Structure 1
Amino acid sequence: MKKNNKSEKHAKPSINIGIQEKDRQKIADGLSRLLADSYTLYLKTHNFHWNVTGPQFQTLHVMFEGQYTELATAVDLIAERIRSLGVAAPGTYKEFAKLTSIEEPVGVPSATDMIKQLVEGQEAVVRTARSIFPLVEKAGDEVSADLLTQRMQLHEKTAWMLRSMLE
């Protein structure tokens, strides 16, 4: 006859993926900051998509839609990587507000100021991703390194494209 042992029934399954628990936690903390920055940039970009006006309306409206759509996919990938490391992903505005390095806009900026703010946001995401890289390299976490590399490449390119609109 089997005993009904609560501690066995609700025990957290161990994770043995070749990365120490303390390293997984540190990496997940960094990825949580990346998630918060990415989600905040998603919200800012979506807001600007809705509220842009002026002679470049059509161009910016479509461009911002492409950017926030890509960010929506990215936040899912980042959150799922955090979960793969055995850590709960942040998922509330309150948590994101504490973790993000990106400022929310005040009011509705001009189209030019929207572009400037999005350049700053794209660059902030790159800096956050780059700051996590030494942790993942030291821990031998190639999967997180690949995710970070892809995010940095995309955000650097997007920042360049946005900056080009300001020239």
Structure 2
Amino acid sequence: MVMHVNQAVALAGLCLLGVCGCSGQSIPDDLPELYPTTLTVHQSGAPLVGASVQLVAADPALQKWVSGGSTNEKGEVVVMTHGKFEGAPVGKFKVTVNKTLTEGQSAGNDPGVSNPVKIYDLVEAKFRSITTTPVEVEIMAGENNLDVIDVGVAVKDAAAEL
């Protein structure tokens, strides 16, 4: 389960890196052509807000180009590659969806506080892992508005305690 939290943290870090400090950086020479891609994620038929979505290419040559993003209030993701280039390359992808909830607070410098921080996964386990996700999409040349992905019922699986 820790691997799933790490995947979410890695994707968030890439997205943050793209937003914060890499503006002005040139486009990599080997960046494949990217096509505008939007997908929508629902849970139990309603938009899933604040979820991390990652597209993992079936083609090993494309796997270095991390694509994904976070869902908005409508459950929509505008897919970015490496968190800063809009779109995704042509190909077939497996899709993972992760969302976590953190409860509690760290003790900080107050040794009298012992309220551990607990992290919960809010998406069914099969959707959180690239090896078990049933969701596959294909990106084509041109604009891609992909079908709605429904990640099943809401769950609250203990992921970690800090």
Category of TM-score, reference length = shorter chain: under 0.3
Higher normalized helix content (fraction of residues):
1
